Amino acid sequence: MTNNFNRRTFLKTAATGTLGLSAASSAFCFNILSEYPLKDKYRVAVIGVNSRGSQHIQAFAKIPNVEIAYVCDVDSRAREKGVELSKSSGAQTLPTGLVDFRKALEDKTLDAVSIAMPDFWHTPAAILAMQAGKHVYLEKPGSHNPAESELLVEATKNYGKIVQMGNQRRSWPRVKEAMKALHSGEIGRVYYARAWYANTRASIGIGKTAPIPDWLDYELWQGPAPRQDFKDNLIHYNWHWKWHWGTGEIVNNGVHFLDLARWGLQENYPTKAYSSGGRYQYQDDWETPDTQIASFDFADGKSILWEGRSCNSREINDMASGVSFHGENGTLELHNNSYKIFDNKYKLVRSADPTSNTVVDQAGAGFDMDIAHFTNFINAIDKGESLISPYPEIQKSVLLCHLGNISYRTGRALEIDQNSGKILKDKDAMKLWGREYQKGWEPKL
């Protein structure tokens, strides 16, 4: 019996008499099929729908065996739009809108949650969901700090739930094709990867303490983060640039490209990490660097370099974001869902055009490029399909980003244990490994 012969197929076959009762009894007695739930619809709650979460809604609405059961958001305006978006995207039933996603977790018929909340909520929300028996689609980066990454990896083992990371480029056809070319030796031994992201973000100004808007549950928005006054320039996006809530550009967008770099080089943890930069473009409330360089060295003679420019979008290799791989016999430039391969004399050896007409910009590709990633998540639950981005593997890429930030904040290079990813011989740096939580909100297994 293969993985393709799932429980639904088994029962349909048994019902038509193709399998005898003794065979059916034997199968259930040995619990052969218990890993494949028999469901015509998988009920999903989408949590956090103001920005990226809206694309989660559009993707799940297009998957035939998914029902969007709940749309959850602390912003009543986003919640109402999310419910309407479900309908306009083709959902057969109208989801229930909830302020507090924990109410959805109480529903025993809910199968999974799709989390697109702020970074500081990712790990606490995912753990609560798994403890409630739900599978998790988790938007990048999945953690606010390395300690949370470790905790979430442990949770996936403890609760036995599927956790798919939202680094959807791993599902794009040309990306997979490019990785196959690299790993088959098309440019020889690959020893260096350069990743970058450039944008022209505006100043966030100087925020003022202000009354909490009537459309916002600010207490629940803060959740696990220690309490701070509401500022008029914080929500919905500018929290990314404040260490208290966010993780800066390297974790916000760098995780996509550093993940591709690490995948292409076939590496796990580095032996050294160093980062420098600063907030150069504006003088405002933005705390994380708007210009950042981070480098990572690996034990077997390979390196990755990251360059992030949040406020200057001059392209590299005609690409505002991308990855280039450099090896003995040439270079592969990966640009979203296309790539080019050059030899060492700069001659174009071959290229592959995008497989979709979708325009990919710095805001992302939209649900139509990413639906394969969401479908893989559901198929992993339904059919036992191999997960494309299991969190325990992808967190190694997230850790690169966190290490870059810790090096930047301490102002020095970090020595890393190549077997665990832990920082060696630096107690001050390890103080940034985790964070403090609002009392009563600490994530626990």
Characterize the bridge pairing of strands 163-165 and 414-415: unpaired
Q: What is the dihedral of CA 261, 265, 267, 271, to 10 degrees?
A: -80
Tens digit of each residue's pLDDT (9 = 90 or more) over 108-120: 999 999 999 999 9
Tens digit of each residue's pLDDT (9 = 90 or more) over 223-244: 999 999 999 999 999 999 999 9
Q: Which has the minimum average pLDDT: 150-154, 184-188, 204-208, 362-366?
A: 362-366
Q: What is the pLDDT of residue 189?
A: 98
Is 357's pLDDT higher than 70? Answer: no
Q: Work out the mean pLDDT of the chain and round it to a whole number.
A: 91
Specify the higher pLDDT residue, 159 or 2. 159
Whole-model pTM: value is: 0.89
State the pLDDT confidence band at 336, using cuts at 50, 70 and 90: confident
Delineate the domains of the chain, giving CATH numbers in brackets: 1-36 (no CATH), 42-168 (3.40.50.720), 170-370+391-430 (3.30.360.10)
- Provide mean pLDDT across the span 333-341: 94
- Provide mean pLDDT across the span 369-397: 95
- Provide mean pLDDT across the span 334-352: 95
Sign of the dihedral defined by the CA atoms of residues 373, 374, 377, 379, in that order: negative
Is 28's pLDDT higher than 50? Answer: no
From edge to edge, which strands make up the β-sheet containing 321-327? 348-352, 338-343, 330-335, 321-327, 190-198, 302-309, 291-298, 272-278, 414-415
Is 13's pLDDT higher than 80? Answer: no
Alpha-carbon distance of 350 to 341, in angstroms, equals 5
Q: How far is CA 172 from CA 73, 89, 108, 221, in A?
A: 29, 22, 34, 32
Q: What is the pLDDT of residue 366?
A: 53
- Provide mean pLDDT across the span 424-435: 97
Q: What is the pLDDT of residue 356?
A: 66
Is 334's pLDDT higher than 70? Answer: yes
| Of 301, 271, 278, nearest in space to 400 by CA | 271
Alpha-carbon distance of 276 to 410, in angstroms, equals 10
- Provide mean pLDDT across the span 100-104: 98
Beta bridge pairs of residue 348: 342
Is 65's pLDDT higher than 70? Answer: yes
Percent of the chain having pLDDT more than 90?
86
Q: At 11, is the secondary structure helix, strand, or coil?
A: helix
Q: Which has the minimum average pLDDT: 20-24, 133-137, 220-224, 395-399?
A: 20-24
Q: What is the pLDDT of residue 68?
A: 98
Q: How far is CA 114 from CA 66, 135, 154, in A?
A: 12, 9, 19
Token code pair at residue 440: 């009563």
Is 283's pLDDT higher than 70? Answer: yes
Is 332's pLDDT higher than 80? Answer: yes
Residue 186 and residue 352 in contact, taking contact as beta carbons nearer than 8 Å: no
Tens digit of each residue's pLDDT (9 = 90 or more) over 285-331: 999 999 999 999 999 999 999 999 999 999 999 999 999 999 999 99
Q: What is the pLDDT of residue 342?
A: 98
Is 364's pLDDT higher than 50? Answer: yes
Is 281's pLDDT higher than 60? Answer: yes
Q: What is the pLDDT of residue 92?
A: 85
Q: What is the pLDDT of residue 355?
A: 80
Kindly state the greatest CA–CA separation across the chain: 75
Characterize the bridge pairing of strands 302-309 and 291-298: antiparallel
Q: What is the pLDDT of residue 224?
A: 98
Helix (H) or strand (E) holding 370: helix 367-383
Alpha-carbon distance of 421 to 403, in angstroms, equals 9
Q: What is the pLDDT of residue 362?
A: 52
- Provide mean pLDDT across the span 408-421: 97
Alpha-carbon distance of 68 to 46, in angstroms, equals 7
State the pLDDT confidence band at 24, using cuts at 50, 70 and 90: very low
Is 252's pLDDT higher than 60? Answer: yes
State the pLDDT confidence band at 51, using cuts at 50, 70 and 90: confident
Q: At 179, is the secondary structure helix, strand, or coil?
A: helix
Q: Which has the minimum average pLDDT: 23-37, 75-89, 104-118, 171-185?
A: 23-37
